[in-house]
């Protein structure tokens, strides 16, 4: 009889056993599955964890930069290819993506039993969960190659029993999840739902996955559905913007070129006590020049990811240069102002995500409330991916040329032959600092040569080390070769 | 004396009583006519019926009437009348008694003997009863201790008894004049010890239990009852970590038992209260404090592993109403202030630091700057007032007892008293009624109200008066009368509307050199005026006790504690410096919280003796529930700028009213317990305890925990073979072993899987949606931390007067709660808690007490010392250590909790002194000949290359000392001579270190300690303080190292008190029973090598703690 006296229910906190009881709660679970897409700060290792920082630091587009050689050591380590299992950005990548996997697994397990959920909503949420799990696993397999494949939530007793799956098994699961998601996803969403997964986004991601798997024909045919007629408006309403610079403006979110956009907000008045909660874009703050006194840019940037001379040279004369590279050095000289050069500074900074005075939020702390979105998949990218797949497959080089030249024509460049080299070059210039370069170098085998100046070791640095804690304490996880 | 005797007997008496018992007559005379009687119950049958009828007759006449006719004779001794049996009649009676057996024996009676009864000091014992064993034949001793008695013969045995002394038996033999020395009863052994749900005689106690009685506490002027435990008992370490009025000390019983929570359990009159619950008890209402230190605590099961402190409050004492007042008033001041550089020294040192870094000197002529402002002198008050008044009324009859008291305390702090003050009002009342022979009911109620101003932000480098006074430059004036003369005049003019000003309208000085949180303390205080926290506590209990059959006792008690607490604070518009200001909106914050806990306890006790076997058995149940909630609100933009004007009544836009609130997670506990105590002839002792606790905090696989303990004792001195006249009067060895738990470190619902929020995402333009997902997997195995405790000890009384208690113990804590570091691929948002981690405490305790008298000089000496060794033995397979403690801008953590070391041991680099020359740097080489610190400069620290790798890296850090003392001790001495008394009480610790982090590392221009004057410079190459440098390339200052550690040992005279009790003759006239005046001092002197505010620091890191005051008081105790 005393037992009930001891069985209490928590105040203001839901028990897992009672939750997922209505459609509103199902939506909160869906939101939680999206949440790891924007893990700006905190993460599971308590550090700054935006993915662009490490990816740009790893590539030949940027250096790590910052205030000094020990400023954000994880970025410095990947910049120098001195990662060890304990030091490097892998802890953030690993944990965030597995957290995403878990949230998607929770969703897939709970959704069928949520009372009152309409058939349509159930289908859509389920499809979104599949898309998100595929998205997280695609990042994991690209970054680590050897990861455990966890498709349902784990009991504590099962946690230590998880072996690493073969990469092809993971890819197969990613394909399966995306294939399952596509038919149930909406073609378009209401403005208030912008940023939620659409059919186009899922097809674009699937095409990209096929490309990474070198399944050229599948990649080309899937991406073609997304791209439609080169230069025109696709079935899903995608169309290249006329003005390249408009793509990245926070006043032009969800534009017609955006296929999968990672949404940020400037309206939440975040302060330093909200660490771990930021859905603003802290990366914008990170890449601003330090102690800057000139016009256009915010004065209090942190000076990360200065542009390499290598990229500056490659972009020389390209119409996209001013929208890609901020030449702070000459700007300050021209305006008689000043800034503090970053560690590894070159005088050149990222322009696409630069903290601009005009984007400063009206309320709250500027540093922590940048509203800029990150467009992870955009039409120019899927054009170039399809072009590459077509060339590799050798099937329709005509369309490959149309795709390549649509991207070039948009910025007023003359047409070129769709060779692999030309497509790779175009990808670099079109998509510079957008987080694709390092993956492109690795998957096309150019990394050892292109990244030699940073210490890249072939056969080792194509993937990241597995975080130290994951291989200890009785797990089944084996460290990646070379680490 | 003849005259006196005559006077008494001539006293005129009126009395009429028919068939009253003799005792009633004697009491009547005693009460109404002030006649005192001495008699032995064995000799005089006071229940015999007598009759008396006297009107204005002499006492002699009355006594003759009452006594003589009943075979009682009397003698007058001074002011007393001693009654004894008339020998003639006795003889006749004896004849009657013995007639049946032997006629001849009737003739053999009446060997007359005489004797004298004295105490060990040779003083006569007056009124001791002498009884011939096995008869009713007896008498009492006279004023000289002499007696006369006729006994049957040489085989007769005399039993001599006197209150406060052990009974003694003497065989007459052939003696006719017998000298008897009575031995004082060792009081301690007859004392009762509260053991939880009952009491035990100290003589037969088997656990390690320390007791502090009201008599030990009454002359100590403490404002909190837990302070009274400091230094009083071995094994109980009380550290007052702040001298702020009303602040609670941390209490550790036998070391730190858990990395999570080591607070003991507090029980007040059977009511379990949480840590803050004892704030509300008036120390004057406390009758006794008993501390269960070993497995005897198992009676409190899952909450007992940190020890149990049982507080018993005063109840009415037999007799007519007694009204007592005691109170004192006093002044408090600081004992020690750190010495810092004055203005010209500061300027010189700043120049030195800047030029060492290659810069140019800042101050052209340091000498000209004089001494400047001594901020230490600005923040302390040397005469902070303290006053405390207590009034109590108590009394009892056979049927009822009552106790009521009022207490009032008002204490100013010694640091900025206008924002440091504590007021406490307490009211308590309890009564109990013996309604029937078998039925007793009673209740206990306490109300307390505290109001606490404490806006000082102490022991923090982030501002507040103490930190500011340590870091602020001495160049800044307290108050500025000539703004234009200031180097930063612009600051004053551009912020003219918001800077803080004194009563004359002059701005308080704003530093031109030191900023951030370091502000002018005089100005800071003005921004905190009025802010306070409050608490109202209602503690009540009622009980019923039924004894249907002798030996069976059933008791049921219901208790509740209702607390209301909250705060009010106001933030005006102010500008203290460029980084500490509020320029936007005034704000008022109000908070009101409440908390309720109740428990119901039922016990059944059975006591039985058969032969020499004595058994007490207890079984019981207990149920407890705790809940609480709170509501707070911020009101922004009030149209006023002072606390006194602030009010939530002002109309404000809704957006300016921000509410917050919380519910405490509820908590319930249901328990069953039992205890058996058995002794054979008070010689072989056994106690067994078992408690089963069910807690809402435990996981579903461990809803109930069982906590057993067994204790045995052996009173060797009761053995026949034990030498009776040796120096050992009493000797008991005892041992205990048991398992106790700690569920206090377990938060509610940690065992279950909960859903957490804050997993948000943005859809559309800025449409943030709050996401929810599971936190961590459930851990149905989650349970209490478990401590196995073993104890062996002895209690002894030597040479009548010396009591010794010795204990040696080992406590092993298993399954300390930790967060499990599950692999991240599991994807959980939070990590579950589990029972991982072990710790061990080993120690030795010794308590000594000695009392004696030399003539009229009575004295007591007591002392205790305890040793404890703490060691973390396991932290799980994944973690070897936790970082503990941090200082702003230090390169590393200050301490570690690491396997093989005490909790939170200091960890850092070891400096081996400064390099006095380049040659010393060049010669400091590793084994393979490389220079270890090639970049060092003369004046930099030589770091110990602990790992011998030829470089100074973080791997060279090592353990540098223990923040916890290994030895704690206390001594007390009290004595009285005639009307004068003296009390001296001191306590100390030994074996710990203190990390002193006074100077802000990130503020290069912060003031320097006076020791910096000995810094190495090219002209002071023998200096042993590291060279001053702002860039600190050698990390002389930024590396945590033994440079910051000081010996934390101290001995402190806690109390010194002189009292004078007014002579009885004066008081009699005023109808006052007792009156005593005293002068007293707390913390009169401290012997320590520590150069800081106060060596008494909990946790061992001193960033500017609020030091304890030295107090001088005058007080008065009066009993009517």
Residues of A in Cβ contact (< 8 Å) with B696 = 6-8
Q: Answer whether CATH 3.40.50.300 is correct for domain B1-84.
A: no
- Which of B693, B699, B823, B831 should one mutate to test binding to chain A, selecting the residue with the greatest count of A CBs within 10 A? B823
Per the CB < 8 Å rule, is B765 touching A98? Answer: no
Confidence of residue B52 (pLDDT cuts 50, 70, 90): confident
> For residue A446, what pLDDT is reported?
96
Task: For residue range B907-964, list pLDDT tens digits in order.
Answer: 999 999 999 999 999 999 998 889 999 999 999 999 999 998 898 988 899 999 999 9
With b meaning 16 or more CB within 10 Å and e meaning fewer, what string describes B416-440? bbebbbbbbbbbbbbbbebeeeeeb
Q: Pick from A5, A12, A477: which is nearest to B668 by CB? A: A5
Q: Which residue has the higher pLDDT, B656 or B808?
A: B808
- pLDDT per position as a tens digit, B290-344: 999 999 999 999 999 999 999 999 999 888 899 999 999 999 999 999 999 999 9
Dihedral through CA B99, CA B101, CA B106, CA B107, nearest 10? 140
Q: Do A16 and B778 touch (CB under 8 A)?
A: yes
C-alpha B486, offset from chain centre: 50
Q: Does the beta-carbon distance from B759 to A35 stay under 8 Å? A: yes
For position B92, what pLDDT does the model report?
Answer: 43
pLDDT exceeds cutoff 60 at B104: no
Residues of A in contact with B754 (CB under 8 A): 10, 13-16
Reading the block at residue B245, the tokens are 């009025």
Phi, psi of B640 (to 5 degrees): -130, 170
Buried b (16+ CB within 10 A) or exposed e, B697-731: bbbeebbbbebbbbbebbbbbbeeeeeeeeebbbb
The C-alpha atoms of residue B349 and residue B365 are separated, in whole angstroms, by 12
Which residues, 6 or more positions from A271, have their beta carbon under 8 angstroms from its beta carbon? A364, A365, A368
Task: For residue A102, list chain B residues with Cβ-Cβ distance below 8 A.
Answer: 826-829
HEC letters along B316-338? CCCEEEEEEEEEEEEEEECCCCC
With beta carbons under 8 A apart, name residues in chain B contacting A15.
Answer: 752-755
Residues of chain A contacting B623 with CB distance shorter than 8 Å: 2, 5
Q: Do B754 and A16 touch (CB under 8 A)?
A: yes
Q: Which residues pair with B1025 in a beta bridge?
A: B1015
C-alpha distance from B958 to closest chain A C-alpha (Å): 22
**Selection from A158-162, A436-440, B153-157, B720-724 with the highest mean pLDDT:** A436-440
Distances (CA, A) of B240 to A440, B332, B336, B870: 63, 16, 16, 20
What pLDDT score was predicted for residue A229? Answer: 95
- CA-nearest of B385, B470, B467 to B421 is B385
Q: List CB contacts (< 8 A) between B832 and chain A.
A: 156
Residue scoring higher pLDDT (B71 or A420): A420
Residue A15 is nearest to which of B665, B753, B770, comparing CB atoms? B753
Average pLDDT over every residue of B668-694:
95
Residue B4 above 60 pLDDT? no
| Separation between Cα atoms, residue B581 and residue B497, nearest integer Å | 12
Q: How far is B162 from chain A (nearest CA, A)?
A: 54
- How many angstroms separate the CA atoms of A154 and B832, rounded? 13
B1062: tokens are: 């007014």
Angle at which helix A397-410 crosses helix A420-431, to 10 degrees, equals 30
Find out whether B205 and B682 touch, Cβ atoms under 8 Å. Answer: no
Which residue is closest to B693 within chain A, CA to CA? A6
Cα R_g (chain B), whole angstroms? 36
Query: Which residues partner with B659 through β-bridges?
Result: B633
Nearest chain A Cα distance for residue B671, angstroms: 9
Contacts of residue B738, defined as CB under 8 A and 6 or more positions apart, other chains included, come to B294, B295, B296, B297, B298, B689, B707, B708, B709, B710, B711, B788, B789
Contact (CB<8Å) B828/A102:
yes
Name the phi and psi angles at A81, rounded to 5.
55, 45
* Chain B partners within 8 Å of A100 (Cβ): 827
pLDDT for the residue numbered B902: 94
Q: Out of A31, A94, A153, name the one closest to residue B760 (CB).
A: A31
Select from A10, A14, A268 the Cβ nearest to the Cβ of B772.
A14
Q: The tokens of B1106 are what? A: 């609020």
CB contact under 8 A, B768 and A268: yes
Report ipTM for this prediction.
0.96
Please say if the pLDDT value at position B90 is more than 80.
no
The alpha carbon of residue A27 and the mean position of all alpha carbons in its chain are separated, in whole angstroms, by: 23
CB B465 within 8 A of CB B521: yes
Mutate: best of B621, B749, B761, partner A, most A CBs <10 A: B761
Asked whether B327 and B389 are in contact (CB, 8 A), the reply is: yes
Handedness of CA B1036, B1038, B1041, B1045 (dihedral sign): positive
What is the DSSP code string of A348-394?
A: EEESTT--BGGG--SSS-GGG-----EEEEEHHHHHHHHHHHHHHHT
The C-alpha of A140 sits at a distance from chain B's nearest C-alpha, in angstroms, of 11
Q: Identify which of B289, B298, B241, B246 has the alpha carbon closest to the alpha carbon of residue B266.
A: B289
Contacts of A38 in chain B (CB under 8 A): 761-762
Q: Contact B766/A29, CB-based, under 8 Å?
A: no
Tokens coding B940: 């930099």
- Cβ distance B825 to A477 less than 8 Å, yes or no, reads yes
How far is B834 from chain A, CA to nearest CA, in Å?
11
Work out the average pLDDT over A180-193.
96
pLDDT exceeding 90 applies to what percent of chain B?
57
What is chain B's mean pLDDT, rounded?
88
Backbone CA torsion sign across B905, B906, B909, B915:
negative
Assign B965 a pLDDT band (cuts: 50, 70, 90).
very high
d(CA B798, CA B804) in angstroms, rounded, equals 8
Q: What is the phi/psi pair of residue B997, to 5°?
A: -120, 65
B695 with A6: Cβ contact below 8 A? yes
Single out the residue of B921, B913, B914 nearest to residue B1017, CA to CA.
B914
The domain locations on chain B are 1-84
Out of B663, B752, B826, whose CB is closest to A154?
Answer: B826
Helices and strands (DSSP H and E) totals, chain A: 20, 7
Q: What pLDDT does A389 receive?
A: 97
Domains (range + CATH), chain A: 20-49+89-185+457-483 (1.25.40.890), 198-261+377-444 (1.25.40.390), 272-372 (no CATH)
Residue of A nearest to B834 (CA): A156
Do the Cβ atoms of B498 and B491 come closer than 8 Å?
A: no
**CA–CA distance, A258 with B891 (Å, rounded to integer):** 45
- Which residue bears the tokens 């912020």? B495
Looking at residue B686, what is its pLDDT? 96
Residues in chain B within 8 Å Cβ distance of A31: 759-761, 769-772
SS3 content of chain B, % helix, strand, coil (to 5): 15, 45, 40
- Distance in angstroms (rounded) separating the CA atoms of residues A269 and A255: 25
Q: Across the interface, do A25 and B772 touch by the CB < 8 Å criterion?
A: yes
- Contact check, Cβ <8 Å, B764/A159: no
| pLDDT (0 to 100) of residue B96 | 42
Residue A251, number of CB atoms within 10 A of its CB: 8
Chain A partners within 8 Å of B758 (Cβ): 276-277
B825/A147 Cβ within 8 A: yes
- Residue B858 CA neighbour count, 13 Å, CB half: 5
For B809-861, give the DSSP string. EEEEEE--EEE----GGG--SSPPEEE--EEEEEEEEEEEEEEEEETTEEEEE
Distance CA B736, CA B296 (A): 8
Residue in B623, B670, B762 closest to A263 by CB: B762
Inform me whether the pLDDT recorded for B264 exceeds 60.
yes
Q: Which of B560, B747, B593 is nearest to B662 (CA)?
A: B593
Chain B residues with CB-CB distance to A85 below 8 A: none
pLDDT digits (tens, 9 = 90+) for B571-606: 999 999 888 888 888 999 999 999 999 999 999 999
How many inter-chain contacts (A to B, CB under 8 Å) are there?
191
Q: How far apart are CA B330 and CA B222, in angstroms?
A: 12
- Residue B97 confidence (pLDDT): 40
Per residue in B836-886, pLDDT tens? Answer: 999 999 999 999 999 888 878 889 999 999 999 999 999 987 778 888 888
Distance from CA of B666 to the nearest CA of A (A): 7
Rounded to whole angstroms, how far apart are CA atoms B284 and B324? 11
A37 contacts B761? CB cut-off 8 A: yes
- Across B530-535, average pLDDT: 94
Nearest CB to A14 within list B754, B762, B767: B754
d(CA A240, CA A410): 7
Residue B769: its chain A contacts at CB < 8 A? 27-28, 31
Statement: residue B1033 has pLDDT above 80: yes
Question: Which parts of A265-353 fold into alpha helices (H)?
Answer: 282-286, 309-315, 321-324, 328-335
Residues of A with Cβ-Cβ distance to B668 under 8 angstroms: 5-6, 8
Residue of A17, A18, A35 for testing the chain B interface, max B β-carbons within 10 Å? A35
Closest chain B residue to the Cα of A10, Cα to Cα: B665
Mean pLDDT to the nearest integer, A256-260: 97
Chain A closest-CA separation from residue B783 CA (Å): 14
**Best mutation target, A90, A135, A156, A252, to test chain B (most B CBs within 10 A):** A156
Which residues, 6+ apart, have CB-to-CB distance to B435 below 8 Å? B441
| pLDDT, tens only, B460-476 | 888 889 999 999 999 99
At residue B203 the predicted structure's pLDDT band, cuts being 50, 70 and 90, is confident
Among B70-79, B426-435, B495-504, B673-682, which is the least confidently predicted range?
B70-79
- The alpha-carbon gap from A267 to the nearest alpha carbon of chain B, in Å, equals 6
Per-residue pLDDT at B407 exceeds 70: yes
Tell me if B827 and A101 make a contact (CB, 8 A cut-off): yes
* Digit-coded pLDDT (tens) for A237-247: 999 999 999 99
Tokens 């009156």 identify what position?
B1075
Weakest-pLDDT range from B72-76, B245-249, B407-411, B533-537: B72-76
Q: Which of B755, B825, B832 sits opposite A162 (nearest CB)?
A: B825
């Amino acid at each position: 009889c005393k037992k009930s006296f001891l069985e209490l229910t928590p105040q203001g906190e839901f028990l897992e056993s009672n939750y997922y009881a209505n459609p509103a709660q199902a939506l909160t679970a869906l939101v939680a599955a999206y949440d790891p897409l924007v893990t700006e700060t905190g993460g599971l290792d308590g550090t700054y964890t935006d993915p662009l920082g490490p990816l740009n630091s790893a590539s030949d587009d940027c250096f790590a930069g910052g205030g000094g050689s020990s400023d954000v050591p994880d970025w410095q380590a990947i910049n120098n290819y001195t990662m060890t299992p304990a030091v490097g950005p892998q802890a953030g990548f690993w944990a965030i993506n597995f957290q995403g996997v878990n949230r998607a697994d929770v969703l897939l397990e709970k959704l069928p039993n949520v009372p009152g959920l309409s058939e349509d909503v159930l289908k859509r949420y389920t499809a979104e969960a599949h898309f998100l799990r595929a998205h997280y696993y695609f990042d994991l397999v690209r970054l680590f190659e050897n990861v455990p494949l966890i498709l349902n939530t784990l009991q504590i007793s099962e946690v230590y029993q998880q072996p690493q799956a073969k990469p092809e098994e993971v890819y197969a699961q990613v394909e399966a999840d995306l294939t399952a998601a596509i038919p149930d996803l909406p073609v378009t969403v209401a403005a208030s739902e912008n940023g939620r997964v659409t059919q186009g986004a899922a097809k674009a991601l699937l095409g990209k996955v096929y490309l990474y798997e070198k399944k050229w024909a599948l990649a080309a045919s899937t991406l073609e559905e997304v791209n439609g007629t080169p230069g025109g408006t696709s079935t899903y309403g995608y169309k290249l913007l006329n003005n390249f610079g408009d793509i990245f403006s926070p006043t032009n979110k969800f534009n017609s070129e955006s296929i999968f956009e990672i949404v940020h907000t400037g309206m939440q008045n975040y302060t330093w006590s909200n660490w771990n909660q930021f859905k603003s874009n802290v990366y914008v703050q990170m890449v601003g020049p330090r102690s800057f006194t000139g016009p256009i840019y915010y004065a209090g940037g942190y000076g990360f990811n200065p542009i390499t001379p290598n990229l500056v040279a490659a972009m020389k004369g390209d119409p996209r240069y001013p929208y890609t590279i901020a030449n702070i050095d000459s700007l300050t000289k021209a305006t008689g102002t000043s800034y503090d050069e970053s560690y590894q500074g070159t005088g050149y900074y990222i322009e696409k995500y630069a903290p601009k005075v005009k984007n400063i939020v009206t309320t709250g702390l500027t540093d922590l409330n940048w509203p800029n979105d990150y467009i992870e998949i955009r039409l120019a990218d899927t054009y170039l991916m399809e072009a590459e797949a077509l060339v590799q497959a050798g099937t329709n080089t005509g369309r490959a040329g149309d795709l390549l030249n649509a991207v070039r024509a948009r910025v007023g460049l003359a047409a070129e032959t769709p060779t692999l080299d030309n497509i790779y070059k175009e990808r670099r210039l079109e998509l510079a600092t957008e987080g694709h370069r390092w993956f492109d170098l690795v998957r096309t085998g150019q990394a050892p040569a292109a990244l030699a100046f940073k210490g890249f070791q072939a056969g080792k640095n194509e993937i990241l080390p597995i975080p130290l804690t994951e291989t200890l304490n009785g797990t089944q996880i084996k460290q990646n070769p070379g680490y | 004396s003849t005259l006196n005797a005559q006077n008494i007997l001539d006293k005129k008496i009126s009395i009429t009583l028919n068939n009253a018992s003799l005792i009633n007559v004697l009491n009547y005379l005693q009460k109404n006519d002030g006649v005192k009687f001495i008699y032995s119950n064995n000799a005089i049958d006071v229940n015999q019926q007598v009759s008396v009828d006297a009107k204005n007759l002499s006492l002699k006449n009355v006594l003759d009437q009452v006594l003589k006719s009943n075979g009682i004779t009397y003698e007058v001794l001074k002011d007393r009348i001693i009654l004894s049996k008339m020998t003639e009649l006795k003889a006749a009676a004896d004849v009657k008694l013995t007639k049946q057996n032997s006629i001849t024996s009737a003739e053999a009676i009446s060997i007359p003997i005489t004797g004298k009864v004295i105490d060990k000091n040779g003083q006569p014992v007056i009124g001791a009863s002498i009884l011939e064993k096995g008869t009713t034949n007896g008498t009492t001793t006279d004023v000289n201790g002499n007696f006369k008695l006729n006994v049957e013969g040489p085989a007769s045995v005399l039993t001599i008894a006197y209150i406060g002394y052990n009974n003694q038996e003497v065989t007459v033999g052939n003696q006719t004049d017998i000298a008897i020395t009575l031995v004082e009863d060792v009081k301690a052994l007859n004392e009762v010890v509260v053991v939880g749900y009952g009491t035990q005689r100290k003589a037969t106690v088997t656990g390690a239990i320390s007791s502090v009685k009201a008599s030990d506490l009454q002359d100590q002027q403490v404002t909190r009852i837990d302070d009274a435990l400091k230094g009083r008992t071995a094994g109980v370490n009380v550290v007052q970590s702040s001298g702020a009025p009303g602040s609670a000390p941390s209490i550790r019983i036998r070391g730190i038992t858990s990395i999570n929570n080591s607070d003991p359990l507090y029980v007040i009159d059977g009511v379990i209260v949480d840590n803050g619950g004892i704030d509300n008890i008036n120390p004057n209402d406390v009758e006794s404090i008993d501390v269960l230190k070993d497995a005897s605590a198992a009676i409190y099961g899952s909450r007992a592993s940190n020890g149990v402190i049982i507080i018993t409050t005063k109840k009415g004492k037999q007799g007519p109403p007694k009204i007592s007042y005691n109170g004192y008033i006093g002044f408090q001041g600081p004992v020690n202030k750190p010495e810092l550089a004055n203005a010209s020294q500061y300027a010189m040192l700043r120049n030195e630091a800047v030029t060492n870094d290659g810069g140019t000197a800042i101050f052209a002529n340091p000498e000209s700057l004089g001494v400047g402002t001594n901020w230490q002198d600005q923040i302390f008050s040397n005469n902070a007032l303290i006053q405390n008044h207590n009034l109590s009324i108590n009394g009892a009859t056979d049927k009822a007892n009552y106790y009521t008291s009022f207490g009032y305390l008002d204490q100013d702090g010694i640091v900025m008293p206008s924002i440091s003050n504590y007021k406490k009002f307490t009211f308590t009342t309890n009564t109990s009624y013996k309604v029937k022979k078998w039925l007793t009911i009673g209740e206990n109620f306490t109300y307390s109200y505290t109001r606490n101003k404490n806006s000082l932000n102490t022991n923090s480098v982030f501002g507040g008066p103490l930190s500011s006074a340590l870091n602020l430059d001495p160049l800044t004036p307290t108050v500025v009368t000539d703004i234009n003369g200031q180097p930063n005049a612009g600051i004053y003019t551009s912020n003219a509307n918001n800077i803080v000003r004194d009563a004359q309208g002059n701005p308080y000085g704003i530093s031109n050199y030191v900023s951030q949180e370091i502000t002018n303390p005089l100005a800071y205080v003005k921004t905190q005026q009025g802010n306070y926290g409050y608490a109202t506590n209602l503690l009540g209990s009622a009980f019923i006790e039924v004894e249907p059959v002798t030996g069976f006792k059933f008791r049921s008690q219901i208790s509740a504690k209702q607390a209301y607490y909250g705060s009010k604070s106001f933030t005006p518009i102010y500008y203290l410096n460029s980084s500490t200001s509020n320029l936007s909106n005034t704000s008022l914050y109000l908070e009101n919280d409440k908390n309720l806990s109740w428990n119901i306890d039922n016990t059944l006790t059975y006591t039985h003796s058969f032969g020499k076997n004595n058994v007490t058995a207890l079984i019981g149940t207990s149920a407890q529930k705790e809940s609480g909630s709170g509501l707070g609100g911020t009101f922004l933009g009030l149209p006023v700028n002072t606390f006194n004007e602030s009010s939530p009544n002002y109309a404000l836009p809704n957006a300016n009213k921000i509410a917050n609130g919380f519910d405490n997670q509820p908590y319930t506990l249901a328990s069953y317990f039992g205890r058996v105590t058995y002794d054979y002839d008070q010689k072989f002792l056994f106690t067994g305890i078992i408690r089963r606790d069910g807690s809402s905090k435990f996981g579903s696989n461990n809803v109930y925990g069982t906590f057993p303990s067994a204790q045995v004792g052996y009173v060797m001195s009761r053995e026949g073979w034990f030498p009776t006249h040796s120096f050992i009067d009493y000797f008991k060895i005892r041992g205990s072993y048991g398992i106790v738990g700690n569920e206090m470190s377990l938060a509610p619902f940690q065992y279950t899987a909960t859903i957490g929020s804050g997993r948000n995402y943005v859809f559309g333009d800025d449409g943030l949606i709050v996401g929810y997902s599971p936190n961590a997997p459930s851990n149905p195995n989650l349970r209490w931390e478990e401590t196995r405790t073993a104890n062996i000890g002895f209690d002894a009384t030597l040479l009548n007067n010396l009591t010794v208690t010795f204990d040696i113990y080992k406590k092993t804590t298993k399954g300390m709660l930790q967060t499990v570091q599950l692999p991240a691929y599991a994807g959980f948002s939070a990590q579950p808690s589990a029972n991982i981690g072990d710790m061990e405490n080993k120690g030795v305790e010794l308590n000594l007490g000695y009392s004696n008298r030399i003539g009229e000089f009575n004295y007591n000496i007591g002392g205790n010392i305890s040793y404890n060794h703490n060691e973390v033995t396991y932290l799980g397979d994944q973690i070897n250590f936790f970082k503990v403690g941090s200082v702003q801008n230090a390169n590393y953590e200050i301490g570690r909790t690491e396997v093989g070391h005490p909790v939170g041991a200091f960890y850092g680099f070891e400096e081996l002194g400064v390099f006095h020359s380049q040659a010393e740097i060049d010669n400091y080489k590793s084994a393979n000949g490389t220079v270890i610190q090639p970049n060092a400069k003369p004046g930099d620290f030589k770091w110990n290359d602990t790992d011998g790798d030829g470089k100074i890296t973080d791997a060279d850090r090592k353990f540098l000392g223990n923040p916890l003392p290994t030895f704690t001790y206390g001594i007390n001495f009290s004595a009285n001579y005639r009307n004068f008394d003296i009390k001296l009480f001191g306590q100390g610790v030994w074996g710990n270190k203190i990390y002193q982090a006074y100077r802000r590392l990130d503020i290069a221009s912060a003031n320097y300690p006076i020791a910096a004057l000995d810094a190495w410079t090219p002209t002071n190459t023998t200096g042993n303080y590291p060279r001053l440098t702002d860039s600190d390339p050698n990390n002389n200052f930024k590396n945590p190292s033994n440079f910051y550690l000081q010996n934390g040992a101290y001995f402190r005279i806690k109390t010194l008190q002189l009292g004078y009790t007014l002579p009885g003759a004066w008081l009699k006239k005023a109808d006052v029973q007792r009156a005593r005046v005293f002068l007293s001092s707390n913390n009169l002197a401290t012997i320590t090598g520590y150069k800081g505010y106060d060596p008494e620091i909990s946790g061992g890191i001193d960033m500017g703690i609020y030091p304890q005051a030295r107090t001088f008081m005058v007080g008065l105790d009066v009993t009517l």
